[in-house]
Amino acid sequence: MTQASDVVRKLRAVSEPAARVALLAELAATASADVAVSVLEDIGRAALGREPVASEIVLSLMRPASVLVDEVRCSLLADLARESQAVVALQWLWSANEARAAAKRRESADTQGLVDRTLASMTLGERRALARRATRDQIMRLVGDPDAVVVTHVLNNPRVTEANVLAMCSKRPTVTTALEAVIDAAAWSRRLPVRIALAHNPHLAVHAAVPLLVTLPTKSIGKLRDDEALSPSLRLAASRICEAARAANSSS
């Protein structure tokens, strides 16, 4: 058994998501570079082949910057993944560092025009407070709110439904931070229809959309590849992941 396969075996033996994230983070930080890349690639391809445990593990990598925390190390692993044609591992590694770069250059934008007109007179603090206790009718007015905190409060509201969340994910125009708040809400982002809707929204930043690809069925990835509303870079990533998925399924 290789060192990489031994690590994958250990990951599969861990059932608690938080413990898996901790083990993945430790791997990324301390394992040899070739082992780290091999483990990421093996898990990704197993998930694309619909292996149940791997499919569960990759849900922990929807926000790879929270696992692959060392920027320099991440760049080193990305270079190795590129050289070794580890297509799936490279998507996560690129996304992690691009998310960090995006956070540094992110500027506040005037998003008041995206607020529902019936709520436009409220302050941001008032909308955030409302989102916690909103009625079903008010939730429908809040699902397109551009503020990530409002979105988070809506998602935690006991009255919110999957239909509301899908409307939120499909909202256009919107801002990526609002959509990324849905990814961060595990209770909702673990649902396949929610991830598909998020990935198809062209307002979700590419670095946030790419990690979703590995969590989707091959047919859904193909539809993203062919979606002309999406950016060329996301469609290219979808094409590469789709090829990896077909290879994984043909060998399983």
Range of the domain at 69: 3-105
pLDDT, tens only, 116-128: 999 999 999 999 9
CB 82 within 8 A of CB 205: no
Residue 232 is predicted with a pLDDT of 98
When the pLDDT of each residue in the chain is averaged and rounded to a whole number, the result is 94
Tell whether the model's pLDDT for residue 238 goes beyond 80.
yes
pLDDT at 252 (0 to 100): 57
pLDDT one-digit tens code per residue, 60-89 = 999 999 999 999 999 999 999 999 999 999
Supply the DSSP symbol for 68: S
Model confidence pLDDT, tens digit, residues 10-33: 888 888 888 888 988 998 899 999
Top-confidence residue, 150 or 111 = 150
User: Are residue 116 and residue 228 in the same domain, yes or no?
Assistant: yes
Residues 190 and 203: their CA atoms lie apart, in Å, by 20
> What was the pLDDT predicted at 2?
65
Tell me: do 143 and 82 sit in the same domain: no
Pick from 63, 79, 105: which residue ends a domain? 105
Distances (CA, A) of 20 to 49, 62, 106, 142: 20, 13, 30, 34
* 65/171 same-domain check: no
Same-domain check for residues 166 and 228: yes
pTM of the predicted structure, to 2 decimals = 0.94
Assess whether pLDDT exceeds 50 at residue 1: no
Whether the Cβ atoms of residue 62 and residue 183 lie closer than 8 Å to each other: yes
Which residues 6+ apart lie within 8 Å of 135 measured at CB?
Answer: 159
Residue type at 201 in one-letter notation: N
Distances (CA, A) of 198 to 152, 212, 224: 15, 8, 11
Helix (H, G, I), strand (E, B), or coil: what is residue 86?
coil
Same domain, residue pair 75 and 138: no
User: 134 and 240 share a domain?
Assistant: yes
Rg (CA), the chain: 19
Tokens of 8: 């994958």
Average confidence (pLDDT) over 195-212 = 98
Same domain, 24 and 124: no
Question: Do 146 and 233 fall within a single domain?
Answer: yes
Total structural domains in the chain?
2
Same domain? For 119 and 159 the reply is yes
Q: Which of 176, 183, 227, 231 is nearest to 205 (CA)?
A: 176
